[in-house]
Amino acid sequence: MSILVTGARGAVARRLVSLLSARGVEHRLGSREPDSPGTVRCDLSDPATFPEALAGARSVFLYAEASGIDAFVKEATAAGVEHVVLLSSSAVLAPSAADNPLAAAHRAVEEVLLASPLRTTLLRPGAFASNALGWAGLLRAGLPVRLPYPGAHTDPVHEADLAEAAYAVLTDPALAGRAYTLTGPQSLTFADQLSILGRALGRPVPCETVTAEQWKAEAAAYIPGPFADALLDYWAAGDGVPAVLTDEVPRLTGHPARSFATWVEDHADDFRDRD
């Protein structure tokens, strides 16, 4: 069994590769910008990179990129790929998914895969705990985190749990061919997450509430308008509303999902002053 791991520089893929390597599972790394020996170029928006990356692969861990998915399925089928594990998003389950650009792109990839001859397993995480890294620069500079909805709930899931879930469905045929909604063990507001960060760092983490318009203007340099609107809608819907949690991470990994506090312990240095 040979597994192609796409997006090899991503946090989940790196953890997955470590598991595969430690357990002697044959695999190949694919990346848009290969930066290590043995990694092949696999740009999911560039079909010209697919044939070499897919050669000899029987399973693929796939990041969701809608622009090249039709060509990817065609090349994967021709290469003899049997199973694709897609890192999708639980956003596809929302009633408004078709109108949400964040969800629509993932759903488009899901639909093409499910209509293909490839056996498809869907991993649908909610909020990545690593989204908190977006606050790291502010915290290192001693600046407040400015949020439009500090009371919005999310279900932060550790990337290590996502990698273990991916490993499970890639290596156990009995688990393949299904959809899994993956969450962390707690529904936490952004204010809760900042409080947990503060305790780990030994100092308060200041938070300022701003309007949605203010936040969108401040984020304009790195989040396009439609995606910012989608995030704001998601946070507004979760303001004061606990996130729905699942037991799919424990079912796939055999242990309780890691807490956000555990994630913070694992990444605390990212939030500390580096001087």
Tens-place pLDDT, residues 72-95: 999 999 999 999 999 999 999 988
Query: Are residues 110 and 71 part of one domain?
Result: yes
* CA gap 89, 179 in Å, rounded: 11
Query: Are residues 241 and 210 part of one domain?
Result: yes
* CA gap 104, 112 in Å, rounded: 12
How deeply is 181 buried, as exposed, middle or buried, from its count of CB atoms within 10 A (0-12, 13-18, 19+)? buried
Q: Is residue 81 helix, strand or coil?
A: coil
Query: Are residues 89 and 141 part of one domain?
Result: no
DSSP structure class, residue 258: P
* CA gap 178, 116 in Å, rounded: 15
**Residues 219-263 pLDDT 10s:** 999 899 999 999 999 999 999 999 999 999 999 999 999 999 999
| CATH code of the domain in which 112 resides | 3.40.50.720
Alpha helix segments (H runs only) across 188-224: 190-201, 212-219
Is the pLDDT reported for residue 108 higher than 80?
yes
Q: Which of 125, 143, 175 is the last residue of a domain?
A: 125
DSSP structure class, residue 7: S
Tokens of 68: 């090249």
Query: Are residues 273 and 151 part of one domain?
Result: yes
Query: Are residues 132 and 91 part of one domain?
Result: no
Per-residue pLDDT, 38: 82
Measured at the alpha carbon of residue 10, what is the angle toward residues 61 and 162, in degrees to the nearest 5?
60
C-alpha neighbours within 13 Å on the C-beta side of residue 37: 0
Q: Is residue 196 helix, strand or coil?
A: helix
Domain assignment of residue 171, yes or no:
no
Structural domain containing residue 79: 1-125
Whether pTM exceeds 0.75: yes
| Residue in 226, 237, 236 with CA at minimum distance from that of residue 99 | 226
* CA gap 37, 121 in Å, rounded: 29
Query: Are residues 64 and 118 part of one domain?
Result: yes
